[in-house]
Each structure stands twice: as structure tokens, then as C-alpha cells.
Structure 1
Amino acid sequence: MGAYTGRDVVVNFAIADENAVPSGLTYKRLGMMRGKGMKASWDTVDTTADQSPSFTKTNLVTFKSAEFSGDGVTYTDAVFNQKELKAHVISPGAATANQPKVWFQIIYPDGSKYEGPFIVTEWSDDSPYSDAATWSISAMSNGAVNFTA
């Protein structure tokens, strides 16, 4: 397939808690995005001891975390679903125990994707005097986030 641009990456969301069954979710596209970032990282523990090979540190991984970030141009059109996600993040309802929980799918042009439950940790609006109004979002994993190649 080769190279691609970030605008070809699709971000979908479903408002649900971490116990939801992914195949039963109704995802909506988060539209008019510019930046889309996904990061997976592992915590480690040091297992180095007095007989470690060649005096070299050794480690084991303990827990994985995934972080999603994104931003876009603010549009009020319902088709872009920005207001729905923002409303849930700012004032989460009973469906997610009043927590800003969502499922994200980040789908790449080659068909690979991340999918899993997240807690939105930040929503930001920027409304400069003489430029486009924009928004940004940050979220951290809240359960198993899977990558399908």
C-alpha cells in the first residue's frame, strides 16, 4: 500500500463503559480532525541482580498503557459528532456511571486498527479572535486496547 497521510486515518467513538462488548457498539465518526495520535507503552520492573549477564540490566514488563490524542476544527454540524462527544466528556451520564468513558477505534488505510475502552482525561476548546476555533482531546486506556494488524 505504501505511504499515506494522516487525514486518511479514521477515528470512531462509542459512548460505553469498559465492560461493553465491542461487536455490540454503535460507533460514530469523530469528524473534522486534523491531528490523531496513538501511543502504547509498557511499565517495567528492574530484574537486575548480582549474576545478571555481563553486568547488564534486565527487565520485565508489568502493565501496558495506551494514550490517544487528537485535535480538529470546531464544527457545529451534527454529522461530525463533536458536540455529542464533548457533552459526554464535560457532563458524563448514567450510562457510564458519570465517568467520561468511551471506546475508540483508530483505523488506518491498510485496515489495521486500535480498539478499546478509554477515559477521556482532557477536552480543550480554543477560540482565537481571528482564526478558526479548534478543539483537542486526550484519553488514556481503561482496559484492554487491542491492535489488529
Structure 2
Amino acid sequence: MLGELLSKILLLLFGYAMPAFECFKTVETRPNDAHMLRFWCQYWIIVAMVIAFESVISWMPMYSEMKLAFFVYLWYPKTKGSDVVYDTFLRPIVMQYEPSIEQRLLHLRAKSGQLLSFYMKNFADKGTAFFMDVLRYVVSEKPEGSNAEGSFDS
């Protein structure tokens, strides 16, 4: 239990906070350094992919520790693992399926607007009805299930 908590804290620090700050510094202090900007973009793309597939592999023993080690490997200056992982694995796969991915994302974006509109309308209609029911209950003279006679009067 304590080991898992420690792993999560270290992952938060070394997997997210420190790389985010380093990325921020690169964007703010060296915006023309294309190599470093590419490096940090690769890092965050890989992190996003790991998080997207996390539910499939998170059952593995010591998953948090392996994730932490992998994230450190990705940004550690001597390994620059994000270059290796991105160029060797991620880029070839995504390039191969890019047209299909793009088409599906466009379709999803179009459908998400319709879906959002449907839920907003439904929420507004049901929310209004619920609010009116609550308001009727609050202003009603005799709440349901109560005794009309003053049972506390003696």
C-alpha cells in the first residue's frame, strides 16, 4: 500500500510535473529550439498513448513502478527515450493508419456535436421539469405524508 502511494507520488512528480515544467521552460525560453520542442511533443504524445491504453495493462504487477521508470526513460537526458520510442514504434504505426484515424476523428467530431446538443437539450428539459417539481413541493401547503392536524399542539 505504501509502495503504491509512493509510486503514484513519484509518478506525479517525475512523470507529469517535472516534464511539464521542462516543457514550459522550453516553450517560454527557447521557442525557436525546434529539436527540444519536438522532443517534448513526442514525450507528451507517448504519455497520452500510455494513458489511453492504461486500462488494458494496468492489472500487471508493479505497473505503477514500470510506468514511472518508462516515463523517466522517456525524458532522461542520457537516454532521450522519447526519440527512440516515437521514431521506432509510434511514428511508423500512426503514419500507416493516419488516413483512417483522421477520417474516424472527423466523423467523431461531427457526431460529438450532435450528441452534445442532444444531451444539452435533454438536460435542459429534464432539469427544468425537476426544478419545477421541487418548487411545487416547497411551496405546497401540505407536504406528502404529513399529518394535517397539529400533532405537536396540546
Shorter chain as denominator, the TM-score bin is: under 0.3
Higher-RCO chain (CA-CA 8 Å, sequence separation at least 6): 1
Question: Highest CA radius of gyration, 1 or 2?
Answer: 2
TM-score by length of 1: 0.21
Higher fraction of helix: 2
TM-score by length of 2: 0.20
